[in-house]
Structures are given as C-alpha cells and as structure tokens.
Chains A and B, each alone.
Chain A
Amino acid sequence: MRRRSPWFVLVMAGLYVITASCGKKSTTEGTTIHFWQFWDMAVVTPIIAEFEKQNPGVHVEVEQLTWATGLEKIQAALASGTQPDVCELGSTWLPRFSYEGVLEDLTPVYQAERDSFLMWDSAFYKDHVYGLPWVQGSRVLFINRELFKKAGLDPDHPPDTWNDLLDASKKISALGNGVYGFGQNIGEKYVLFKKFMPFAWGNGGDVFDANWNVTVNSQPVLDALEFYLKLAPYSLQEKQEVLDQYFKTGKLGMQISGAWNVKNYKIEAPKLDYGCALVPRPAVDHGEHVGFAGAEMLVVFKGSAQRDAAVKLARFLQAYPQARAVSIAAGSVFPASREAMSDTTFTNDPHIKVFVEQSLTSRTPPAHPGWIEMEDVMDHAVEEAMYGRRAPRWCLDDAAKDITTIAAKFNQK
C-alpha cells in the first residue's frame, strides 16, 4: 500500500517545475539574431562562433530544424509572429514565401554577388531577389562498375546519351540473377519529379517557358517521358531505400541519386566499386547533361528587428569559406559558389568531382509560388504513365490542365 499526502503532490509539482525548466533556453543582452537551419549543430556552431567574434556585441541564437518538420515549425512561427531573423529555406519553398511577401528584398546583395554564385533562380520573384544560395546538392548517375564489366560495358565510359543508357540497362538486366539495370523511383512522394525532370530539361523542355506559359505537355517533355518509360522493363521500380539497398549490395546497375551516398558508401559499402557520371543527354548533337539540384537558400524575414545584422549574417554564411565548411562537415552538399568548381578538396575526389561539374548545368524546380501543389501533379502524372494507366500524352495533358488551374490561384504568375 502506498502512502500519499498533499506534500507528495507539492513535491512532485516542484520537481516538475525544476526539471521542466531544464529544457528552456536562456537569453543574453546585446543584439540577438535568431537563425534557424537544418544542419547538425556541430556543423554550424564553429561558423557562428567566428561570426560573433568578428561582430562583437552580436549574439546569434541557432535553432536546428529537422527536414521532416522544419516547414511546419516555420509556418507556425510566422503565424504567431515568432519567426527568426535569418532562416534556411529550400529552393522548392522559397517562391511561395516570396509571393506571400514575408521576406526581405535582397536584390542589392544579388547585384553585388551575382557572378560568384549559382542557383539564384528560385530566389527570383517578379524581378526581385529574396534569397541567397548557400549550399546545394545535385543528383548524378551512379554506376556499378563491376556490373558494367560483367555486362561487357566499359566502366570508364559511362552512358553519355539516352541510347547509351537504354543499352546499358538492357545489357545489365540481361545478367539475370536478380540484377536490375536501372533504378526508377515509385510509390513515394517528393522524389519522382526529381528523377524525371532532368530528362525533360536535358531535352530542352520544362513545365513552364520563359513567359510562364504551361509547357509541361510540349513535345520535348513528352519525348522525355516516353524515353523514361522505355527504361521501365529493365528497371527496378521501387522506393528510394530499396533502390539504395540494391545498389549498395551490387544488384542494381545504375541509378540517379545524390551525394549522401558517397558519404554513406565509405562507411557501409567500402568495397563497392562504383562510379559517378553526368546525367545522360538525349543525343550527342542534341540537348544537355542537366541534373536536378536541391538548393538551400538563406532568407531574412521581414519585420526583423535586427535587419542589418541579419543580412550581414546571411552574407557571412553564404561566403565561400563558411559555405565550404558547412559542406565539408555535412558531407552531402556543396557550396553554391562558383569557387567550389576549382577547389581541390572537391575536385580531387573522382566521385565528388562529377557532382561539382554537374551543378554547373543543374536546375532547381520552377520558381513558381504554387510549385508545391504542382509538384504533386507532376509526380502523379509520371506515376500514372509508369503504371501504364494511361498513355503519356494524356497524363501530361491532364497535368497541364491542373497546373494551369493551380497557377491561376496565384494570379501574378
């Protein structure tokens, strides 16, 4: 039998208050800037320390967000007026935020820095710039060199054109024994268009043209989709983890994926003999090696009490030494700066070199405020085509219709 008394309740309450307070953060005097970002604290802390050293009297409070819920938190913060001063925002989301008018205009910074950096596209809204490219990651073609050799292909000459890609897929698939030629994502969200769009882009097509007319059902895109479907019989169509697992265990010949694998394979598959190559182009005389890039941008929220200090922090972070430090610590991204192209840290590694090269011709999704919804439409269209539900032409036509409807909601573009 346990004894209880009112004192017990009070003691418990007291303990509660004490332990619960342990989680709260403390504030300091002077100018305080709040910076929200997605990388591990270990990555960012030294950089912040350096900034504070260079700017005495300024204190930076860093908060780490997770990829999974970071966006919800930013939304709730804006809704309650407690948003940070500086924030990291993905290139997919930036246009919507620009459209809503919650970001500081950073066009002067752009004018000063435009030639030093890549990946500005998503920061544009109506001829103003609202974000600074910080770090980015392209997706390139991964090949399993051993499977190439087994299939009679030359691993030192990875597929250059679409036909090469199709050919290689066929030959590796023919090896049988549970081995697949190519890897195609299916059955999950937020990935599909990243794997398909490079083919459309490489072929000169896009969701919109320069005047924001919807061109998703134009011929170049349709051709790209039809080619993508040609790869299907020789592909493993599965979720990303399964594709990664298969590639890691040597059962997948090729897939388009990102730099996190390079970091990952060193630990989990050190003996894997693989190579990286630029995304294949339509033909030798036609189209380009275009890849998909996810860019992380730095923004300053409007209404920040420390606007100038915030912009200063953003520019400091974007500057090459800092972006480089973040990239090396994180291991899966690269600075958005052109200086990275000639930095031997990156260019000496045969795999990383390809990523850096690919980023010169990589693209972020169309900078339309309604892109999030349109992305779902794109995913759905490609998926429908992949499942053979309807002919590619109709899938894209429907996509064009839906995207036009969504664009109308954001009447400005």
Chain B
Amino acid sequence: MWLLLPWALVYGAFFVFPFLFSFVLGFLNYNPLNVSHTTFVGLGNITRLVGDADFHGALRNTLFFVIGTVPVTTTLALALAWLLHAPLPIKDVLKAAMFLPSILSVVVIALLFKLFYAPGGALNEALRAAGLPTHGWLTDPSTALPAIMAMDVWAAVGYYALVLYAAFTSIPESLYEAASLEGAGHWATFRHVTFPMLKPAIGFVLVINTIRSFQVFVEVLLMTQGGPLGSTNTLVTMLYDTAFRRLDYGYASVIAYAVFILSGLFSVLALRRMRSQTPVQTRGVPA
C-alpha cells in the first residue's frame, strides 16, 4: 500500500541499508582509510571479542550499570507514582517538577553533573558544610561509575514515575473498594490489587529502561571518557573508541551486536517475569 511508502523509503534508506552494511562489516577487517585493503575475517572478530580483556571489563561495567540502575529507577518511580496517587495540594507543580530532569538533554545533564561532582561543586560543598569529607567523585575509579549511575537514575525517574502514575490512575476504584471491604490492609492491597494491574506498565518501563541503559554512552563521553582506569568504559564507549580511534570498524560492529543481543535478552527476561504471574481477577464487587 502506498500509505506505507514514506515510512518504507525512509526506513529502508536510512536504517535497513546501514544496518545491513554494519552487519557485513562484522565479518570484515575494514579500515576506512584504506577500503581497498579490506579483508574477510569470517568469525575472527567474534573470537577476538570473546577473549578481549577490555571487552570483559566493558561488559562488566555495563552489566553493573544496567543491574544497578534499572531496578532502582523502577522502584523509585513506583514509589513516587504511589505517593502522587492521592488528592494532594499543588499536585501539578509537583508533577512538573518531577518530570523536569527527564526533558533535559543528556548533554545538559552530563555537563551539570560534571561540575556538580567536581571539587567546589554542589555535592562537595554540601558535604563540606555538613562537616563531612569531600571526594573526587569522578576521579576515583571506585566512585566514578556509581556517580554516573546516580545521575542516570535522577534523570530518568521522573518520566517513568509519570508513566506509572498514569497506570495507577487507570486502576478501577471498584477493585480498591472490594479489597477494603474484604479487610485488606495497605500492603495487601498493594500486592494483590495495585501491583498486578500495573504489570504491563512496569513491563514497559523495565524494557525501555534496560535497552536505554545498555546503550549508555554520551554521559561517559562527556564526563569521563571511559576512565579513570577504565572504570567507566561501557560497551558503546568501547564501540565508539574501536571504530573512530582505532579505525577498526569490523570489530566495532561485532561489539554493537553484542549490545543488541544482550539488551534483547534482558528485555525478554524482564517481560517474561512480568507476564508469568497473572493478575488477580476479581469477579465483581461482592454483595
């Protein structure tokens, strides 16, 4: 159908073609400066990747990043959404304030936090005022990645909280009435009424958050460039470096596919988890 034409054209030209090109690149030894010297290496890039210590480090860091941020963001978002779900004064202001960090560009946030974490920046100054020791948050290999993770949670939580809040508002009141009639307390209500109804939304949040977290790159590029001592070297950071500084596009493509497979795996796992427990169905309001 010709209705599909614009989409097909754009998608085909600007995604499918480059996608295929980079897929083929994975099996080649491709150097942009000397395209005529390209050689076929088959699975060579893949075997090299498996044994690469830098890749292991990047993988470790990225997994740490994903596992460290996604559950935290989701839980905090859930908590905030729950807190919001009641008639409260100045609710609109609170919603807006909460959403604000997520509409800022990554560049703005990275820049802000680069200075925020620096000596003389807000965090260290606050610590100093409280009489606590200051720290080089981004220059200490053991705190650099957690610092970026905290920043990431801060930036994302508002958006996900609103998504979950929206899901909260769609839960029919009748379910709550039924629960309270049966004498359920806060926690029981949450476990058996609220949470199951939120499953789809939480699933959505988990998947999107996981996929995005696996691709963390711009923050690292602007704040630490993978240092100190490679503690913030993530998969995509390594990809970028491999392609544009080491001029090894083939190897970089293989790293990209590692990211693709990993984020796919984690997303599927997350979805499975959310789907495995079927929501408790009420059979109508008891008389």
Contact = CB atoms under 8 A, between A and B. Distances in A.
Interface stretch (A106-114, A262-270, A337-345, A382-390): A382-390
A78 B38 CA distance: 13
Contacts of A238: 118-119, 136, 139
The 6 closest A-B pairs by CB, nearest first: A79-B32, A187-B139, A189-B225, A187-B228, A75-B32, A100-B33
Contacts of A389: 229
A75 B225 contact: no
Interface residues of A, number: 32
B227 A383 contact: yes
Given A239-B139, A383-B227, A387-B228, A102 B245 contact: no
Contacts of B226: 189
Given A190-B225, A372-B246, 15 more contacts: A71-B244, A75-B32, A96-B33, A97-B33, A101-B34, A187-B139, A188-B224, A237-B136, A239-B138, A242-B120, A245-B118, A373-B245, A380-B229, A380-B230, A387-B229
Interface in A345-400: 372-373, 379-380, 383-384, 387, 389
A226 to B, nearest CB: 20
B82 to A, nearest CB: 37
Interface of A: 71-72, 75-76, 78-79, 96-97, 100-102, 186-190, 236-239, 241-242, 245-246, 372-373, 379-380, 383-384, 387, 389
Contacts of B230: 380
Interface of B: 31-35, 114, 118-120, 136, 138-139, 141, 144, 224-230, 244-247
A189 B227 contact: yes
13 contacts: A71-B244, A78-B32, A78-B33, A186-B139, A187-B224, A188-B227, A189-B227, A237-B136, A238-B139, A245-B120, A383-B229, A387-B141, A387-B229
Contacts of A384: 229
Contacts of B114: 241
Contact of A96 (B120, B227, B229, B247): B247
Contacts of B141: 387
Contacts of B32: 75-76, 78-79
Task: Give the one of A101, A239, A389 with max B CB within 10 A.
Answer: A239
Contacts of B31: 100
Nearest to A97: B33
Contacts of A100: 31, 33-34
Contacts of A96: 33, 247
Nearest to A192: B227
Contacts of B227: 187-189, 379, 383
A383 B140 CA distance: 11
Given A187-B139, A188-B225, A237-B136, A102 B33 contact: yes
A157 to B, nearest CB: 30
A389 B244 CA distance: 29
Nearest to A190: B225
Contacts of B119: 236, 238, 242, 246
Contacts of B224: 187-188
A128 B139 CA distance: 42
Contacts of B144: 187
